[in-house]
Amino acid sequence: MTITITAFERSPDRGRGLARDMRVRWALEEAGQHYEVRLVSFEALKQPAHLALQPFGQIPTFEEGDLTLFESGAIVLHIAERHGGLLPRDANGRARAIAWMFAALNTVEPPIFDHSLARILERDEPWYEHRLQSLEKSIRKRLDSLSRHLGDADWLDGAFSAGDLLMVSVLLRLKSAKIFDDYPSLAAYVARGEARPAYQRAFAAQLAVFQAASAG
């Protein structure tokens, strides 16, 4: 059955692989699944046709036969459950890998995303500097815990899983941030994720969309 996802017609991440269709593309590549992409403009995101797929007017969405999904984490979980390669076979290992998926999106991503949003939207607020310091403290707290858990392992819990895919996707936003200089083991962890052939295929596909839009 054809798999179709939605992505930005012209991504504001300028091909840096930060828009959340990247996680879905990566999971599909890890699972060896071909997929089509429907590119959506910012205006179309808010029209009834897209809102019927994604009630918050965002990308990505995922369509496969009579199934429509939104929320990148849920889509990655669906791909991992429907196709091999992203979750351990043993039940306890699977449950732990799914816990790391939630940890990536619920525990680690929020201060990182809020920090990047604050730098874009809140620069002119009188409390901007204080808020950045507070968010940076929250980020460091999470990175301290994560690097302590990871230690010198390659992945969070045995073999690479959907938990690592989402955690690396979340940490990628810090790649250019100075804070990451203090966490060399996490920088190496992210680099291992980026070195995966499936990641590289997904990244190249998303970048090609931005390059075509920029050339057009």
Ligand X SMILES: N[C@@H](CCC(=O)N[C@@H](CSCc1ccc([N+](=O)[O-])cc1)C(=O)NCC(=O)O)C(=O)O
Among 4, 10, 15, 18, binds ligand X (CB under 6 A): 18
**Site for ligand X contains 20 (CB under 6 A):** yes
Nearest to 206 by CA among 26, 4, 3: 26
**Site for ligand X contains 114 (CB under 6 A):** no
Contact 166, 76 (CB under 8 A): yes
Give yes or no for a cis peptide into 60 (omega within 30° of 0): yes
Of 7 and 186, nearer to ligand X (C-beta) is 7
Of 73-102, which residues contact ligand X (CB under 6 A)? Answer: 73
Stretch that binds ligand X, among 51-59, 94-102, 142-150, 204-212 (CB under 6 A): 51-59
Residue 160 is given by DSSP the state -
Among 3, 19, 80, 190, binds ligand X (CB under 6 A): 19
**Site for ligand X contains 206 (CB under 6 A):** no
Of 13 and 136, nearer to ligand X (C-beta) is 13
Residue 209 is given by DSSP the state H
Torsion on CA atoms 107, 111, 112, 116, rounded to nearest 10: 150
User: In angstroms, how far is CA 152 from the centroid of its own chain?
Assistant: 23
**Footprint of ligand X (CB under 6 A):** 12-13, 18-20, 45, 57-60, 71-73
